[in-house]
């Protein structure tokens, strides 16, 4: 009886260590394509977060992320993903971005809000592109995309889990 408890304890410890190691190894991966656009290159992890922080001019507090560049036949899109520490933190980040655009304190303008199922989707114009941003659980996503491919690219992104 004592041997079986020890074996079970060892087994459960091994499973817990394996799961802890697996969870730590999982990182945000950009999609290989968005609609017709193909992934050309991406920054991931700390390097991506440094770029996202640089664009914001401050620390956004992400735990993981990526910055992905997509292109096809001259059409371009950039996808930024920042993994927040919680769903609440992601919601605060989204609110800060939309409030800043609403105040006119950013290079973006013409802010709109819509619902896509459970997702509150924000869109804005600026820097020659259409910008969409939204929250999915504890992830904040920002898509900067050329107008001719915007709807198709956004649709492909929203279809992803």
DSSP string of 26-57?
------SEETTEEEEEEEEHHHHHHHHHHHHT
pLDDT at 47: 73
Q: Is residue 43 part of a domain?
A: yes
Show the low-confidence residues of the chain (pLDDT under 70). 1-27, 48-49, 53, 56-63
Number of domains in the chain: 1
Q: Is residue 150 part of a domain?
A: yes
- Angle subtended at Cα 64 by Cα 110 and Cα 113, rounded to the nearest 5 degrees: 20
CATH of residue 37's domain is: 3.40.1000.20
pLDDT at 65: 86
For 113, the domain range is 29-159
Q: Is residue 35 part of a domain?
A: yes
Token output for 74:
């001259």
Encode pLDDT of 42-89 as tens digits: 987 787 667 776 776 656 666 678 889 999 999 999 998 888 889 999
pLDDT at 21: 36
For the whole model, what pTM was predicted? 0.78
Q: Is residue 24 part of a domain?
A: no
Q: Is residue 7 part of a domain?
A: no
């Amino acid at each position: 009886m004592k041997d079986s408890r020890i074996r079970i304890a060892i087994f459960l410890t091994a499973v817990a260590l394996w799961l802890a190691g697996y969870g730590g190894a999982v990182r945000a991966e950009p999609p290989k394509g968005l609609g017709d656009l193909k992934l050309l290159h991406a920054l991931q992890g700390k390097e991506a977060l440094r770029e996202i922080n640089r664009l914001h001019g401050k620390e956004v507090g992400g735990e993981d992320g990526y910055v992905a560049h997509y292109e096809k036949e001259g059409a371009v899109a950039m996808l930024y993903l920042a993994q927040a520490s919680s769903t609440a933190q992601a919601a605060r980040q989204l609110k800060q971005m939309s409030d800043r655009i609403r105040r006119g304190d950013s290079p973006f303008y013409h802010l709109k809000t819509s619902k896509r199922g459970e997702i509150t989707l924000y869109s804005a114009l600026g820097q020659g592109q259409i910008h969409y941003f939204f929250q999915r659980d504890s992830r904040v996503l920002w898509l900067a995309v050329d107008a001719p491919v915007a709807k198709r690219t956004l649709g492909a992104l929203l279809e992803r889990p």
